[in-house]
Structure 1
Amino acid sequence: MQNYKNHRRYYPFHHYVITPLTFFFLSWSFWNVSEALDNEQDIALSIYFLTGAMILFFLPIIARIYALKNQNRTIRLEMRLRYFQLTGKPFHQMEKKLRLSQIVALRFAGSKELLSLMERAIKENLTPKEIKKSIKDWQSDNYRV
């Protein structure tokens, strides 16, 4: 069962294999360029490896950013629908008063506490962490990126 303590997602292959390996390759490539400059070796090949390492380092980061941005759009749409279902009113006025991070945190609140927690988040300017800790009826999201 998902709750505040275990809701963060880690993908071992991404976080513990791909990212460290690309960082290692990037570091090695920088070292290789500096060695080539010091020893007057084939600098072109070293720069070629460095360029490839930079591309490989940024690809998983960019892919993750794209996925998270898409997920945030989906969460905003979900919250608009939930708010409308609970109140019969559009979410736009409330959305303007909340930061995206607050909206994402409110996503985990059950329908019975969502509106009151939303008002409290606006009134007290709660952080996402404070919002999540305040949730009594945690709604799992097992499809997050």
Structure 2
Amino acid sequence: MNQNYENHRKFDPLYHVGIAVLGLIMLILSIVFFFQQIASQWLLSMILLGFGLLFLFVTVKLRGYALQLQDRIIRNEENFRYYRLTGNIIDSKLSLKQVIALRFADDQEYVELVERAIQENLSPDDIKKAVRNWRADHHRV
């Protein structure tokens, strides 16, 4: 499938529907159980609520770590790509999100789009919309 601005966001059904929804349901049920059973089974109520919160926190943190690592890798790849094309390092005025958005531009328009992003302070979304020849990224988690 060709990737473009309209379909470039990644949706992982196992994570976004399976794990996230199941985790949310589990947390809600553990909260309900906690308030229903706190008087008679306070220890079990606390343990179940603790596991529900733990599952939620672990899920969110692990997803965050994966995205943070990918952002660092993309930043390094784009810095190297700009250096390869121009012999210069990429301008530090660009935010991480702008650099990440630039990854979709092919080499022929990349340098021009980098300069335009700096001069016009384009938002990441505006950068993606300005890409004429989309370079797909199917490996984003």
> Is the structural similarity TM-score above 0.5?
yes
Partner of 1:34: 35
The answer to whether the aligner puts 1:65 opposite 2:61 as a matched pair is: no
How far is the alpha carbon of 1:36 from its aligned partner?
2.2
Distance 1:33 1:90 in 2: 55
Q: Where do residues 2-17 of structure 1 align in structure 2 (5 Å cutoff)?
A: 2-17=3-18
Report the secondary structure of 1:5's partner residue: coil
Partner of 1:51: 50
Report the secondary structure of 1:97's partner residue: coil
Distance 1:85 1:120 in 2: 19
Say which structure is richer in helix.
Answer: 1
Distance 2:35 2:48 in 1: 12
* The one of 129, 132, 139 aligned to 1:136: 132
Quick one: which amino acid aligns to residue 80 of structure 1? Answer: N
Distance 2:57 2:11 in 1: 18
TM-score, length basis structure 1: 0.92
Q: Percent identity?
A: 40
Distance 2:16 2:135 in 1: 25
Partner of 1:116: 112
Q: Structure 1, unaligned stretches of length 5 or more?
A: none
Distance 1:65 1:125 in 2: 26
TM-score, length basis structure 2: 0.94
